[in-house]
Amino acid sequence: MVDPAYAGFGLEWVNATVPTPHGNLGVVWSVKGSIVWVEIDAPVGTNGTLKLSKDWACANDESRRNKCAYVKDYVRMVNGGRKVQFHVNLKHLENGQ
């Protein structure tokens, strides 16, 4: 499971590689405004889950904190063997999308 922690340290991007018994797992993410861009490069024959916790949607926006009780985590299944790229609009998490 890839579950990036968002602690509000002013990070705008991260690029990390972790060795696994099946090969390297690479993850790149960046955030600009309410958009999170993610790229996952998992080894062939593996699968896993990406989770962006609801804290991503609520961490840095005081005006949205009252809505955080209704925000859902974003979860996406990922199959290895190819790079997967996608983006998530954090504002959509309020609606459970």
Side-chain-side CA neighbours of residue 67 (13 Å): 19
Residue 70's nearest CA partner among 52, 51, 96 is 96
Residue ranges of domains in the chain, CATH in brackets: 13-95 (2.60.420)
- Quote the tokens at residue 16: 């990390």
Helices and strands of the chain, counted as H and E runs: 1, 6
Q: Tens digits of per-residue pLDDT, 38-66?
A: 999 999 999 999 888 777 666 655 555 56
- What CA–CA distance (Å, rounded) separates 58 from 78? 25
Share above pLDDT 90 across residues of the chain, in percent, rounded to a whole number: 37
Q: Taking the model in full, what pTM does it have?
A: 0.74
| Alpha carbon distance, N-terminus to C-terminus of the chain | 20
Indicate the DSSP class of residue 43. P
Q: What are phi and psi of 52, to 5 degrees?
A: -105, 110
